[in-house]
Amino acid sequence: MKTLVALPERCTGCQRCVLACSYAHAQSFSPSKSRIWVVRAKRRIDYPIFCNQCGLCVGACPAGALSRDAKTGAVVVDEEKCVGCGFCVRACPWGLIVLDSETGKAIKCDLCGGDPACVKECPEAALLFVDLNEAASAKRSLLVRLLGE
């Protein structure tokens, strides 16, 4: 199983990941359609943020519109079942699920079916799609770097 990892020290804030995501999902270069965002931290570090696939939203959905994809491990939205109630938005502790302004349906990172557009488009390799153990190691290293500053 693979997961996304961000390396903020490599991120330039170019937003290409945001645009690649919106194009992959909505065929438009519209940040409001993206499932990844780039935020700027106090130390002027740009940090890509995206769903960590924790699954808290799955149990919150009364319509059963959220489920875990067996192949990728991603939590995915079934747009046919989604009623736009927003319970998943409230359940997400990171604010990484939103309701689409046009359809009213939930949108979140689905790992692009196992081939994330954001990773392919990042010119600085600030986003990785790696094995879970490799991701855990990268996250520990990031924590050490951040706490060491």
**Averaged pLDDT of the chain:** 94
- The answer to whether residues 15 and 88 belong to one domain is no
CA distances from 148 to 43, 71, 143 (A): 14, 37, 8
- Residue 80 is part of a domain; what is its CATH number? 3.30.70.20
pLDDT band of residue 46 (cuts 50, 70, 90) is very high
Q: How many CB atoms lie within 10 A of CB 39?
A: 11
Q: Which residues contact 16 (CB under 8 A, 6 or more apart)?
A: 121, 122, 123
Task: List pLDDT tens digits, range 118-127.
Answer: 999 999 999 9
- The answer to whether residues 116 and 128 belong to one domain is yes
Which pLDDT does position 137 carry in this prediction? Answer: 86
- The answer to whether residues 67 and 96 belong to one domain is yes
pLDDT band of residue 111 (cuts 50, 70, 90) is very high
Number of domains forming the structure of the chain: 2
Q: Rounded to 5 degrees, what are φ and ψ at 147?
A: -75, -25
- Provide the residue range defining the domain that includes 73: 52-108
Cα gap 116→148, rounded to integer Å: 31
- The answer to whether residues 57 and 100 belong to one domain is yes
- The answer to whether residues 42 and 60 belong to one domain is no
Residue 40 pLDDT exceeds 70: yes
Cβ proximity of 100 and 88 under 8 Å: no
- The answer to whether residues 88 and 101 belong to one domain is yes
pLDDT band of residue 36 (cuts 50, 70, 90) is very high
Task: List pLDDT tens digits, range 83-92.
Answer: 999 999 999 9
Which pLDDT does position 149 carry in this prediction? Answer: 59
- The answer to whether residues 46 and 115 belong to one domain is yes
